[in-house]
Structure 1
Amino acid sequence: MRVEYDASANMAYIYLLDRIGPGEAVQQVVAGEDTMALLDLDSQGRLLGIEVFDARRRLHPALLDSAEHIG
């Protein structure tokens, strides 16, 4: 598992695999009533990664501190 964090957009992506190949995520499912996250699934319905909106509010600060910072 690895985490990328874009502070300027306040978005994080949690990779449950080391790498998600192009076209591997074929479905996105909205998680939370106020669209707190998008779940990326493969063709078999397996969870590949999680895109988290408003990451500073929704994720633990230690996780964001240890994340790969992008953007």
Structure 2
Amino acid sequence: MTHPRVTYDRAADAAYVYLTAPGTLTRAARTVACDPVGIDGTVNLDFDEEGRLVGVEVLGAAATLPARLLESAERLDPRGA
């Protein structure tokens, strides 16, 4: 099993987990915002035109996701930011 692509912007404290095959360009047709009870942060679920889940955005990622996942994520900000 391959690991999903994960991007992280430390300045925004936002991570995105891509649930599509690597190299696949899939646009979200609909986003559903979730506000999990008892969790610091917000989760947005992105669905394609056929209703398939294609990605998950996590706001407040540092408090919600494992540090090792964020450390290994593709950075969208300069490492020093």
Runs of 4+ displaced beyond 6 Å: none
Q: Which runs of 5+ in 1 are unaligned?
A: none
- The counterpart of 2:48, out of the listed 42, 51, 55, is 42
Whole-angstrom CA distance in 2 between matches of 1:20 and 1:12:
18
Which residue does the alignment assign to 2:16? 13
Aligned ranges 1:1-71 → 2 under 5 Å = 1-17=4-20, 18=22, 19-21=24-26, 24-33=27-36, 36-71=42-77
Cα root mean square deviation, aligned: 1.6
Aligned residues between the structures = 69
Higher strand share: 1
Query: 2-side partners of 1:31 and 1:9: how far apart?
Result: 18
- Give the counterpart letter for 1:8 in structure 2: A
Structure 2 runs not aligned, ≥5 long: none
